[in-house]
């Protein structure tokens, strides 16, 4: 009696979708190297199919292109001139697709602003006192935070000239600047994991737990899917 052919199952690597500029790669590479089981799919370098992704990472960059802002722009001169329309178009589409599938989302700096705008929020288009050279790499900006926030930091390395004004649908504030109440961290309610941070966790060891939480969720998202048979 002929034996049925053996079936092999393949567990595909978890895939993390992102748009990461070359100059920012050095900051994220230590985290990527630590989680080599996750495939980094960088839309800055080639096509990324968000339908195949297990998580979405939105990183820092230039201002959101004005075509995507859902608010009046009284003084266009306050906007940075090096906007990237192609990147913004991809990231807004990626946010829609990721949230529709319940993927874990971590949004950093400009990424948090884009995540907020994607759900109907608006921005303060130019703010003083938040883009000083010493703020970028040093954890010196004091925060206040909600006690129920899973990730809490007393001081952060925040550096930006725009900030959240009105919250997008479903967001709640988890932390804010202690000196002027500028929003520094938001979370999407009733969603597994969609966290936005205005500061730069990729630039400091104190934020490792945040990245570990996010990468663990990306990996678990892949493990929850059935393995492919061959």
pLDDT at 220: 93
Residue 216 located in a structural domain: yes
Residue 1 located in a structural domain: no
pLDDT at 135: 53
Q: Which residue has the tokens 């859902």?
A: 70
pLDDT at 229: 44
The CATH number that applies at residue 134 is: 3.40.50.880
Residue 229 located in a structural domain: no
Residue 4 located in a structural domain: no
Maximum pairwise Cα distance, the chain:
81
Catalytic option among 91, 174, 184, 202: 202
d(CA 126, CA 57): 24
Whether 108 and 197 have beta carbons less than 8 Å apart is answered as: yes
Count of domains in the chain? 1
Residue 178 located in a structural domain: yes
To the query of whether residue 35 is one of the catalytic residues in this protein, the response is no
pLDDT at 10: 47
Where on the phi/psi map is residue 170: left (φ > 0), alpha (ψ -120 to 50), or beta?
A: left
Catalytic option among 41, 44, 109, 177: 109
Please, what is the Cα angle at 225 between 56 and 219, to 5 degrees?
Answer: 45
Catalytic option among 130, 151, 160, 200: 200
Residue 104 located in a structural domain: yes
Output the tens digit of pLDDT for each of the chain's 230 residues. 555 555 444 457 999 999 999 999 999 999 999 999 999 999 999 999 999 999 999 999 999 999 999 899 999 998 889 999 999 999 999 999 999 999 999 999 999 999 999 999 999 999 876 555 555 556 677 899 998 899 999 988 877 789 999 999 999 999 999 988 999 999 999 999 999 999 999 988 999 999 999 999 999 988 666 554 44
To the query of whether residue 161 is one of the catalytic residues in this protein, the response is no
Residue 9 located in a structural domain: no
Whether 127 and 80 have beta carbons less than 8 Å apart is answered as: no
To the query of whether residue 172 is one of the catalytic residues in this protein, the response is no
Residue 176 located in a structural domain: yes
Parent domain of 135: 14-70+81-224
Give whole-number Cα distances, 203 to 45, 60, 160, 165, in Å: 23, 12, 15, 25
């Amino acid at each position: 009696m002929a034996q049925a052919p053996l079936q092999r199952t393949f567990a595909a690597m978890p895939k993390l979708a992102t748009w990461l500029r070359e100059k920012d790669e050095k900051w994220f590479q230590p985290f990527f190297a630590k989680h080599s089981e996750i495939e980094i799919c960088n839309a800055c370098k080639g096509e990324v199919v968000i339908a195949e992704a297990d998580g979405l990472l939105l990183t820092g960059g230039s201002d959101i292109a004005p075509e995507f802002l859902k608010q009046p722009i009284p003084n266009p001169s306050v906007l940075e001139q090096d906007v990237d329309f192609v990147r913004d178009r991809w990231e807004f589409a990626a946010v829609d697709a990721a949230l529709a599938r319940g993927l874990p989302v971590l949004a950093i700096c400009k990424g948090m602003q884009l995540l907020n705008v994607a759900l109907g929020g608006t921005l303060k288009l130019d703010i003083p006192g938040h883009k000083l050279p010493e703020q970028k790499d040093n954890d010196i900006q004091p925060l206040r935070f909600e006690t129920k926030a899973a990730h809490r930091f007393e001081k952060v390395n925040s550096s930006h000239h725009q900030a959240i004004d009105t919250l997008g649908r479903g967001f709640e504030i988890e932390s804010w600047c202690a000196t002027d109440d500028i929003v520094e961290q938001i979370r999407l309610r009733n969603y597994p994991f969609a966290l936005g941070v205005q500061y730069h966790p990729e630039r400091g060891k104190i934020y490792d737990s945040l990245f570990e939480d996010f990468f663990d969720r990306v990996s678990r998202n892949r493990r929850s899917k059935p393995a492919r048979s061959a």
